[in-house]
Amino acid sequence: MVLRKALAEVQQRSRDLVKLFVSSRYEEDLAAGLGVGKVLNMTIKDTEEDLGSFVGSQLEKDLKQALIERAQGMFLWVTLQLEYINDTDRIKTLDDIQIALRSLPATLTQSYTAIHNRIEALGTKAKSVARMTFQWLLGARRILSVAELIAAVGRSPNCSSELSPRDIIDYCCQLVIIDQSTNSFRLAHLTVREYLESLNVYCRPEISLTIAKGCLDVYLGDNGDGLGLRDYAPKYWPVHVEELESTSQRNHIEIPLVDFFTKGEHFEDWLDDLKRVLSYEKDGTWGSTIERKLDALFSPSQSPLFVISCFGFVEVLQTTAVKIQQDLNQKNQHGSAGLYLALVRAI
């Protein structure tokens, strides 16, 4: 309400273009940079009326004030508590809500812990989907569309039925939302990411392992669900495998990695997909290390030697089925040998 009034006043007084910078937190550096008299600082009291509107339609009047008083101006905290209160497995009556309100977590971190414990107590399918959703959102190299994320987490061995966007949001207990502007899932807040990254189950190697397996399964799997990831997996599976270098999790990707290069036509299918993906992304220059590596792996012979060299897949080169097929002196489309590319990577 305070912000709306201030904006209305600015509109009335200004004849020229006015630019506003809005921040959810007060930062001394920003305030100093904008100059004295140009900063409108909203206090906890200023947000009470808006918080009242936010929760008023969902709770009885006597409970509404309790949330407002304890929210300390944080809409996110209120959202988390409403999710906590709406747990129909625990909350059945108004008395249950009042009891829950008296024991609500005081901070965002405590709220996230309570919600995470609730997720971990879900059934096998729901917990697996929630974990994979968090891992993909934490580790994906670009924004995933709603369809792509559903395809990714739907490949869980514990997921035997189709998933809907609503299923994912429910299983993740509102820690994940849909961004309508990009038609993609995202974590509900930066602090959700910070909290999840503090947990061992979401350590970087475990995240990379999950995504690497999911991407390789697009080619190794025996169902058609991989089509939903056919734009993401071609470009990024080598990156996620490379992220596992020097970790214990790398051992868990060795078998599917070797199978990818030695069985069926998975490698050839991937090259075709990669050419397609790069053809509509390329603008004449390669701006990132990933793109330069991918560009270097193409050769007249379509040999796996160059992707092995560029991304350090030593375990594949040590496989007899791959080793005997490779001419170590062959060169890629730019005239570079595999040994040279491996040395460049090591520098």
Q: How confident is the model at residue 62 (pLDDT cuts 50, 70, 90)?
A: low
Residue 219 is predicted with a pLDDT of: 93
pLDDT tens digit sequence for 66-99: 777 777 777 777 777 777 777 666 677 767 777 7
Write down how long the chain is.
Answer: 347
Q: CA dihedral defined by 57, 63, 69, 70, rounded to 10 degrees? A: -100
Q: Which residues pair with 178 in a beta bridge?
A: 185
User: Would you call 179 helix, strand, or coil by DSSP?
Assistant: strand
- Give dist(CA 251, CA 209) in Å, integer: 10
Contacting residues for 157 by C-beta, under 8 A, at least 6 apart: 128
Reported as a pLDDT band with limits 50, 70 and 90, residue 213 is very high
Three-state secondary structure call for residue 299: coil
pTM summary value = 0.76
Neighbours of 220 (CB within 10 A): 17
Q: What is the pLDDT of residue 154?
A: 85
| C-alpha to C-alpha distances, 28 to 35, 46, 191, nearest whole angstrom | 11, 20, 20
Does the pLDDT of residue 227 top 80, yes or no? no
Tell me: the pLDDT tens digits for 111-150?
Answer: 889 889 989 999 999 999 999 999 999 999 999 999 999 9
Average per-residue pLDDT for the chain: 82
With cut-offs at 50, 70 and 90, classify the pLDDT of residue 209: very high
- Residue 290 predicted with pLDDT over 80: yes
